[in-house]
Structure 1
C-alpha cells in the first residue's frame, strides 16, 4: 500500500520538530543540553499532587465525576477559578469566555482550524514559537511578519497576528506597553484579530508586570465580548506540563465556536486532570510560581554570566526579564544549524538552530538557548564548549 499518494496536500508542510528530535538525546548523559526548554521536574509540587489525587479518588462522589467524561467547555469549578485568575491580571470575564483545552498547544491548533483557510495570511513574530508555526502549517497559511518597532505599518492585514508578548519563545524578549498598544491600533486599522500566547506571563524575574494585550484591549473596548484578542493560558510552565491543562479566553461567540471544534477533536479534557489541577492551583500556585522564579532567575543569571565570560567577539545575546530562553546572534559567517551539528558531535553540547523558528526567510546566524534545566556549573561548561565550537568555525569564502 502506497500511503504517500493518499496524504492530504497540507501534510507536505508538516515536518518534524528539530527541538523534539534533539530531546531524544536526553538519555545521553555526557551531553550538556543548552537548547531544550522543559520546565524542571525537580520543582514540581509533588506532595500537592499526591494529596489532591488521594482526596479526589478517595471520595466516591468526586471520583465518579473525575473518571467520567467532562463537559466540552471544561470542569465548571476550574473555569470559575480561571475567571478569577484572569480578573487578577486585568481581564474581567465570565464562564462563557473560558474554554479548557489540552494545553495551550491544542488551543493554537484550534485557532488554525477556526481561522485559517488555505492561502490565508497569518501575521507572526519572526522568529516565532515553533509549536504555533507547526500548528498553523497544517492549514496552509501564507506568513508575514509582525512589524518590529520603527517598521512601517503594513498596508494590508491578515486573519490574525500571533504574538507571545512576555519573554517570547524563542528570543526571551518582551513587548513594551507602547508596543502592545501599537499592535492593537494596527489590528484595529487593518480589521485584524490577535492571538496572544500568555504561557510565560507568571515567570517574571525583573521589572514590573505589563498588562496583557487582552487586558489593554478591554480597557479600550470596555468589554471582553467586544475585544479582538483571543488569549491562551496554561499551567504547564507553573505547575506541571503532563496535566495538559490550558485554556482559551476571549469573546463568548468565539469561545462557542471553539467549543464545537473541541467536541469534534476529543470531546473533552480529562476531568481527573482538571480536578487535580484545580485542587493544586487553589492552594499552591503562588508558592509554585515563587519557587520557579527563584530557580530560573538564578539559572538565567548563571548562563548570562557564562556567556559574558566565554563568548568570542562578535557574538551577542538577549537579556530576558523572565521566561526560559536566551537568543544568541552569531557573526554573519556562521550558520546556526551547521554550528549546532558541529557543537553536538564534536563538543558534546546541544543547542537549537535559530532558523527553525522562522516560517520564511530565516536568519541563519542564530541559536536559541534555554536555562531552565541547566545548573550554574553545567552552564559554564556548556557555554565554554559552545564558544570553542564558534571559535573553530571557519569564515566562509
Structure 2
C-alpha cells in the first residue's frame, strides 16, 4: 500500500526544491513552530536526503535542522511582498560539511527502501577543476590550469581566469584566439572590451584579441555552454556585441545571458538573465526579455520557440551546483559525464527515462553524487571502472 504524503512532507519538499510560494512558506513556518514533532519530521527528511550510507555518521542533522529553520524564517521576512519566492540562498543553508541535500524524499519507494545492492568502485573520480587550452593565432597551444600563472603581454592568467588588456591605438585587423575547455574543466575569460565569459566543460570559444572600433564585437561559441556578461555598447561608441553559433546569431547591446549549444544535443538553449537580446536563426528571430529561453533545433533553420523559465535552474552551473528539475537520468548523466570526464553505460536501458529532482554540488566526488541518485531513484547499483560508470 502506498504511503500517504502529508501536507508537511509536501511543504518541506517544495521548500528544498525552491518551488515554495509565499503562502506555502508561511504554512511551513507555522507547522514547524506549532509542533516539535514536525521539526522531527524535518530532521528525518534531512537524514534520508544526505545519502545516509555515505556520510551519516559525519553528518550533524541537528545543526542542519537549525540552519534550515533559520533560513526559512529569514526568507519569510525577506519576501513578504513577493508573489513567488526564489529560494536562491537555500543551497548555502542546506550544504555544509561536504554533504548536500536532495529532494526526492517524498516518494514512498525511498522511505521504505530496505535492501541495498552492492556498489563497486574501482576508481576514485574527483570533481572537475579550472583548466583550459589557449590557442593563439600562430597555432601555439598554452595550457592554463589552477595554480599556474601565464603572461602573454596581451593577456594574463591566474589559473582561473584569462584576462585580455585593452591596448591603445586604432586596430585595423582582427587577430583571433580560441579557448577550449576539456571535459572535467571550466574557465573564466575577460575579453579586451571588458566582457566577461564563463565557459562550462567541453566548450570552445573563438574571439578577437582586440576589437575594431566602429564594427560589431563578434565572438563565436564553437560548441558547448557559456555564460556572458557583456560590456554595454554605450561604453564602446554604440558598437554592438554578437555571439555566433553554428545555428544562430545573438545581437546584444549589453546584458547577461547563457547559451548551451553542445554538439551531441538536439537543441540549442539561449536563456536571457538581464537586459535585451535579439536571436536570429535563418529567416526566424526572437526578441527576448529577461526570464525567457529560446529553443531551436541544432542544425536546422526553423522557428524559434520561446518559453518562460526559472533562470536560476538554467544557470545553476555558474553558482557551483547542478539543479535538475524533472530531468531524465540519461540527461543528468550527460551533464555529469562532462564535468567528471567519465563515460556512462546503462546496462538497463529502462533506467534512462527515470526522472530525478534535486540539487547536487559540483564540488562533490562522483561517488557521493551517484549514491544520492541511487538512494532517491530506482537504481539498484552502479559500478565505476576505468572512468566508465555502469548503471544497473
TM-score range, shorter chain: under 0.3
- Structure with greater Cα Rg: 2
Q: Relative contact order, CA 8 A, sep 6+: which one is greater?
A: 1
Higher fraction of strand = 2
More helix by share: 1
TM-score, normalised via structure 1 length = 0.24
